[in-house]
Structures are given as C-alpha cells and as structure tokens.
Amino acid sequence: MKEAYSLLQLEEPPDEHPHSPRPDLRCRRRMCWQSVPCVTTGAQPETELLPVLLCLLGKMGRTERKAEQRARILQVEEARQRVRRISQILKKPLGARNPEDVMLLTECADLVKELEQRSKKQENLKKRQEEVCDEPNELRKKVCELAEVVRNARHLVVYTGAGISTAASIPDYRGPNGVWTLLQKGKTVCASDLSAAEPTLTHMCIARLHEHKLVQHVVSQNCDGLHIRSGIPRSAVSELHGNMYIEVCTQCTPNKEYIRLFDVTERTALHRHHTGRICHKCGGKLQDTIVHFGERGTLARPLNWEAAAEAAKTADVILCLGSSLKVLKKYPCLWCMNRPHSRRPKLYIVNLQWTPKDDLAALKIHGKCDEVMRLLLGELGLEIPEYDRLKDPIFSLAVPLKPGEETTHSRNLLVSPLRQEESRAGPESSSPEPAVLSGGWFGRGYAKGTKRKKLV
C-alpha cells in the first residue's frame, strides 16, 4: 500500500497543471493503482506512460479551448469595430463618403439597415423626452377649445401627475430634472423641504373648478397630498400611489387612517412600509400608503380607488394634467378600454412631453400646467383662489400624536398659522431638513442604500 501511495504522490499533477480537470486525475490514479504490482516486482509497467499521455491530451484540450475563446473575443471585437466604422460613415454627409466607405456599406447592407433603424428609434426616444411649448397664440386657441369642452362636460375627471407640483419645488419623475431622470444618470436627488410645499396654482384652479361643479373627480399619481390641502373634499380625490401625510392600520376593519402634519415616509422604502408608530385603537403597526414601482403597496386598493373607478365609468371627458401617463395607462379601467373607441370619454392632455395617449387625445396642449390653467379659468370667467394656510383642511383632518410619540419622527411639522407657537416646540423644528431626499415617498426604495437617521 505504502508503495502504491508513494507512486501516487509521484503521480500527483505537476505544478504547472494546478487546475487539471478531475476526470484526468481519476484516470491517472486508476493507472497508478494498476501499476502497483509492477512496482512490487520491480518491473517497469507498460501503462506508466499512459497517465502522461492523458495529461498531455487534457492540456491540449485546454489549449484548444483557450484558442477558441481568443478567436471568439477577436471576432466580437472585429464586429464591434465594423459597427463603429459603419456608424461613423453613416454620420458623414453623402458627398463626403469615399469609394471605400461606399463599398463597406454595400458589403454590410443588413448591418447598415439595422443601424439606421436603431438610430431612428433613438432619435424618436430623444424627441419624446423633449419638452415642447406651443406658441402663445396656438396655446390660447387650444385653451379656448378646452374651455368650451369644460363648460359642456357632463362628468369631467381630472388625472394629475408630478408636472402639476413642480411649481411647488417638488421634483417630477421623468422631466429633464425629474427624480427618475436624475437617478438613471446616477445623480443625487435634491429637493427643498417638502413640508414647505404648498398647493400650486393648478391645484387651486382644480379646487375652484370642483367647487363650481365643472370637475367631478380628481385621480392623482402624486403622493404630496397637495390636492387635499387645496381644499377639494377627500371623497373627490383618489390618490393612486398614496399620500405622504397618511398612515394606516390594516388590522382595523375598515382600515383606520391617520392623517399627520408631517411626512410619515421617513423610515419607509420599497417593501418596507412600517412607519414606527402604532394604531391608537388596536395597537397594530401603522404603515404608509405609498405604492412604489414594482410593488402593490400596503393597501389592497389605492386610496379612494372605488371612487376613481366609478368616476371613470361615468366620465365623458378626461383632462390629464402634467403626467407622462406611462404609469396611469396601466390602469385600463381609468380609460374605459373595455368600450369601443367611440364610446370612451374624450381625452384632453396638457403636458410638455410626449405621452403614450397623445394619438388618442382629442386635443394635446404642450404647455405648463399653471399657464394653461390660468388661461382656462380666465376663459371660464372664474377667479383663481390663492392658497390660504388658514383654510388648509389638513389641520382639521390631522390626528394628533399621543404623548410619547413626538419622538417617532424627525421631520418638520406643517405649521398652522393658528398654532404657530405650539409647533415651534415640535421635535427638531429648528434643525434644517437634509438637502438630499431620504424619504420613501418617491419609490424604488431609494433610501435603502443610505444610512438612516437614528431616531431617539
């Protein structure tokens, strides 16, 4: 046995083959065991050369594989260079191409076709992201047409997106400086203190139109809670992606809602919705109402969803304001897609960028929401109300924190003009809000990678 082992030791793969494939090694070992009697008798076994031969064969296999890999890499690199060369030629004006260029283009006709299609697609995508403004005269003409539609609408529903809140320093999503655009470019998202944001002119105009029964319902993608703060009754607003001021207890039936005077999403992110406070009624853990991209959110249905579905069913006109509609289009019932095209509500879109519903719209207005709404209310002869913090419904809707709960958040409180003195004593009211957004209200669990503030 010892001799056999010693032979095995000798037959261990040499250093230059540290990664010899296992089958070879097994094979060589088998050969070594077979050679044991030969060692005992002192005779040189014939089979002793076999392991070396097999080892060499294995080595060749590896060399071949390496060569094959190298050839493949070279091939890919060649193809890449060809694509680069053809792309450069295609960028040249026709007259500037030399005979060699022309020959290469003819030789690679399929590739040329593919590259041309690709560049056309890229151009279209770029065009869609561009913000376009209608000429003032055209804008006025279009708003006149819209005013006529608003006057005669039987049941008008407004769908709003981030574009209506940009005037409140809240970043939109897909605009040139939107949250998604910046995150995709690997840039940091900065924003001013959200609790300082107030309803914009567009929010106030929609509230006025609702007051005059010219708008029946508002469906919003925004989580900033500004529609409710503009004075529209809660029953007339559906917030598809939640509201940063509302936390809910899903253990209570029906779900118990707590409206707060601060951003409740401080500790929440994608798939992480507990806000750190508990239900006053049942002791269940409270959760935010935000729906992030790629998840269903805490609630079985978005806030006031039934009313949104009902409004869409009855609507004869839909007015979309400041939304790319890329997310809203995914809710078929909002567009009555189960009906024939002629029986669907008429669609009016106000947005600076392209939307996937543009081709279906009766009218597309390229303009800033505030500007369009100012003109629209002028046409309708309605005065635009100014936001008045004294009349902000959130102060009467809010559920106060219980003693001891004040330290469960570190966000600035919304301050009611009537209770300014009281709120000054609020938690960290004197500390400035961090410039980089860390809340979970705009999705993708953006705060996950960042260090969370340790709460006292």
Give the residue numbers of the binding site. 249, 252, 279, 282
Site string for Zn ion, 79-108 (x = CB under 5 A): ------------------------------
Are the beta carbons of 175 and 183 closer than 8 angstroms? no
One residue of 13, 45, 276, 284 binding Zn ion per CB under 5 A: 284
Q: Is 160 left (phi over 0), alpha (psi -120 to 50) or beta?
A: beta
Cβ 441 to Zn ion shortest distance, Å = 23
CB nearer to Zn ion: pick between 278 and 309:
278
Cβ 285 to Zn ion shortest distance, Å = 9
Cβ 306 to Zn ion shortest distance, Å = 21
CB nearer to Zn ion: pick between 25 and 249:
249
Q: Which helix (H) or strand (E) holds 68?
A: helix 49-91
What strand order describes the sheet that includes 256-259? 256-259, 246-249, 285-288, 274-278
User: Does 248 contact Zn ion by CB under 5 A?
Assistant: no
Catalytic residue (one of 203, 217, 241, 273): 241
Are the beta carbons of 180 and 174 closer than 8 angstroms? yes
CB nearer to Zn ion: pick between 43 and 282:
282
Q: 440: Cβ–Cβ under 8 A, 6 or more apart, which residues?
A: 265, 266, 267, 268, 269, 270, 272, 273, 288, 290, 292, 446, 447
One residue of 60, 79, 144, 252 binding Zn ion per CB under 5 A: 252
Catalytic, 241? Answer yes
And the tokens for 289? 């109402």
One residue of 249, 264, 308, 311 binding Zn ion per CB under 5 A: 249
The one segment of 214-222, 243-251, 299-307, 405-413 that binds Zn ion by CB under 5 A = 243-251
Q: Is 297 left (phi over 0), alpha (psi -120 to 50) or beta?
A: left
The one segment of 130-138, 278-286, 366-374, 385-393 that binds Zn ion by CB under 5 A = 278-286
Neighbour-count burial for 384-394, b at 16+ CB within 10 Å, e otherwise: bbebeeeebeb
One residue of 201, 279, 376, 413 binding Zn ion per CB under 5 A: 279
Cβ 146 to Zn ion shortest distance, Å = 44
Are the beta carbons of 356 and 329 closer than 8 angstroms? yes
Are the beta carbons of 246 and 264 closer than 8 angstroms? yes
Cβ 236 to Zn ion shortest distance, Å = 26
Residue 280: C-alpha distances to residues 258, 283, 294, 314, 315 (Å): 10, 6, 31, 38, 39
CB nearer to Zn ion: pick between 125 and 282:
282
And the tokens for 10? 């000798």
Nearest to 419 by CA among 397, 395, 398, 393: 395
One residue of 71, 102, 132, 282 binding Zn ion per CB under 5 A: 282
For the annotated binding site for Zn(2+), the residues are 249, 252, 279, 282
Q: Which helix (H) or strand (E) holds 288?
A: strand 285-288
| Residues in 301-330 at the binding interface with Zn ion, rule: CB under 5 A | none
Residues that bind Zn ion (CB under 5 A): 249, 251-252, 256, 279, 281-282, 284
Catalytic amino acids? 241
